[in-house]
Amino acid sequence: MERLKIGGLKLSFALCQFELRAPDPPQKILSTISSALSTEKINIEFLTHSSNKDGTCCLSLCVGEDNFASTAAIIHGRDRLPLHCDVKAREQVGMLTIFPYRSPLAILGVILAEWKGNSMPVYGVATSLSAISVLTDFSAMDKAVEIIQSSFQLPSNHAPLRPELHYYQGTATNKD
């Protein structure tokens, strides 16, 4: 069987994930949390929203692992969240991004089936026209790459893109 072609892989640095489940609409929660993170110059690396049939909303966001304590303090601090909001935090999460490049959406099904077959945890999935991002254990990223490389056809001489730079927000400006 011919393997589906993909355009490449990109790996994240170590992240931490916060999942917030609440009966309230997510707009207020998201604007409150993102504003507080922005004030502290913490970048959101991954963000998804979903709604359940029972009206419960779920926000999932990831920030750099080095911002775990600051983000936890923001999320749990000063009445930022509505009553009955359930928060789960997960440290040492990694994000693997696949670039499908003109391949069918079947790629997502292959990824999920292969990861399940290899007992790889999936903590979140986000898709767009140009990328599919999957969250898993950071310690399992090399195994995730091996699974993807054995399941798909990558461009010749392709190596997964690993982060070399970590960007931070700052207040410094360059003066000429």
Enter the tokens of residue 129.
């026209």
DSSP 36-82: HHHHTT----EEEEEE-TTS-EEEEEEEEGGGHHHHHHHHHSTT-S-
Looking at residue 165, what is its pLDDT?
55
Do the domains spanning 4-13+92-153 and 16-91 agree at the CATH topology level?
yes
According to the model, what pLDDT value does residue 2 have?
Answer: 76
Map 96-120 to HEC letters.
EEEECCCCCCHHHHHHHHHHHHCCC
Fold type of domain 4-13+92-153? Alpha-Beta Plaits (3.30.70)
Structure tokens at 34: 């993102």
Which one is predicted more confidently, 80 or 48?
A: 48
Task: Give the confidence band of 154 by pLDDT, cuts at 50, 70, 90.
Answer: confident
pLDDT recorded at residue 46 = 95
Query: Facing residues of 59 across strands?
Result: 20, 49
CB 33 within 8 A of CB 75: yes
The bridge status of strand 152-153 relative to strand 4-5 is parallel
Q: Tell me which of 19-23, 42-46, 114-118 is least confident.
A: 19-23
Query: Quick one: average pLDDT of 116-135?
Result: 93
16-91 — its CATH code?
A: 3.30.70.260
Domain boundaries, the chain: 4-13+92-153, 16-91
